[in-house]
């Protein structure tokens, strides 16, 4: 279980609704789940990861170094041995505060421009994140540095 210290996000002096805060926190949690820093050759990916992986209602699409997670975050990934490093490049704004965000993909720079008061959270979301993974048949297991493990099926 991950304890996130962020409970009351404020944007442009307007409080997030619980729904909007949950989506931003979910993106942060996903980024944190993958660990910290990258290692190895950044140009390598394991082709066994390619495909659509499902865990309950969550969907992780991996394709030759690009990923999309449940339609609200996407980025790049590399592998080295059993290590996967994922770097968020875009976050979907359609489910966030409707007064600030359009239904489009936002880069880190765009989010920092829109919500500079949330710079620490945004910067944390976009840090490269690391975990270990294994593929066995149609099952992908990722163990994150936080201690949390996700299992997906293809």
Write down the pLDDT at residue 97.
75
Phi first, then psi: give them for residue 125, nearest 5 degrees.
Answer: -60, -35
> Which residue's structure tokens are 């949690």?
29
Mean pLDDT by 10 residues, the chain (154 residues): 32 42 47 40 80 96 96 95 95 82 94 94 92 96 88 97
Q: What pLDDT is attached to residue 48?
A: 95
Q: How far is CA 86 from the centre of its chain?
A: 8
Asked, for residue 88, whether it belongs to a domain, the answer is yes
Looking at residue 98, its pLDDT comes to: 72
The answer to whether position 47 is within a domain reads: yes
Q: How many domains does the chain have?
A: 1
What is the pTM (predicted TM-score) of this model? 0.70
CA atoms within 13 A of residue 45's CA, in its CB half-sphere: 15
Is the residue at 4 inside a domain? no
Structure tokens at 58: 């969550």
Q: Please report, for the chain, how many H helices and E strands are present, in that order.
A: 3, 11
Q: Where are the alpha helices (DSSP H) in the chain?
A: 18-33, 108-114, 119-125
Q: Is residue 1 part of a domain?
A: no
Question: By residue range, what is the domain housing residue 126?
Answer: 10-153
With respect to residue 2, please indicate whether it lies within any of the assigned structural domains: no
Rounded to whole angstroms, the Cα distance separating 135 from 48 reads 7
3 found inside a domain: no
Residue 149 to residue 32: CA distance in whole angstroms: 12
């Amino acid at each position: 279980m991950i304890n996130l210290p962020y409970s009351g996000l404020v944007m442009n002096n307007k409080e997030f609704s619980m729904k909007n805060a949950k989506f931003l926190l979910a993106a942060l949690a996903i980024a944190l789940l993958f660990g910290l820093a990258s290692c190895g050759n950044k140009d390598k990916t394991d082709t066994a990861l390619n495909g659509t992986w499902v865990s309950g209602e969550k969907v992780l699409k991996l394709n030759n170094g690009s990923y999309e997670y449940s339609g609200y975050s996407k980025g790049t990934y590399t592998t080295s041995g059993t290590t996967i490093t994922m770097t968020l490049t875009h976050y979907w704004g359609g489910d966030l505060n409707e007064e600030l965000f359009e239904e489009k993909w936002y880069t880190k720079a765009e989010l920092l421009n829109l919500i500079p008061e949330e710079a620490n959270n945004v910067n944390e979301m976009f840090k490269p994140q690391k975990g270990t993974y294994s593929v066995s048949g149609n099952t992908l297991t990722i163990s994150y540095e936080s201690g949390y493990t996700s299992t997906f099926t293809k």
